Amino acid sequence: KQEVTQIPAALSVPEGENLVLNCSFTDSAIYNLQWFRQDPGKGLTSLLLIQSSQREQTSGRLNASLDKSSGRSTLYIAASQPGDSATYLCASNNAGNMLTFGGGTRLMVKP
């Protein structure tokens, strides 16, 4: 059964820093990997989806990479802002569009 792990569980950085969030998964036979943002008490907002055949996807200041052979994905946030403060979740889609989620990284960007 797929297991997804996110490290670190929490991260605090000063505004303007570039940062990397990590996601690892045990079963490399994934259909795709999706990154989400969750604000406190709210639902999930989709940020990026990387298909199994892709190496990376970019959206604005966000860049997500995927290395299936090593079972890893990273989310790179450039020039972080206080508004980026949230919990970031990665989820693998192994079959049937059912997602297996990591525990999330809680990010705080300090002004």
Q: Which is nearer to other proteins, 13 or 63 (CB)?
A: 63
Q: Are the C-beta atoms of residues 51 and 4 closer than 8 Å to each other?
A: no
Q: How many whole angstroms separate alpha carbon 38 and alpha carbon 80?
A: 16
> Using CB under 8 A, which of the segments 13-21, 63-71, 75-83, 88-96 binds other proteins?
88-96
> Using CB under 8 A, which of the segments 16-24, 55-63, 69-77, 101-109 binds other proteins?
101-109
Q: 79: which 2 tokens?
A: 């020039």
Q: How many whole angstroms separate alpha carbon 25 and alpha carbon 37?
A: 19
Q: What string marks each residue from 40 to 79 as x (binds other proteins by CB under 8 A) or -?
A: -xxxxxx--x-xx---------------------------
Q: 111: which 2 tokens?
A: 């002004």
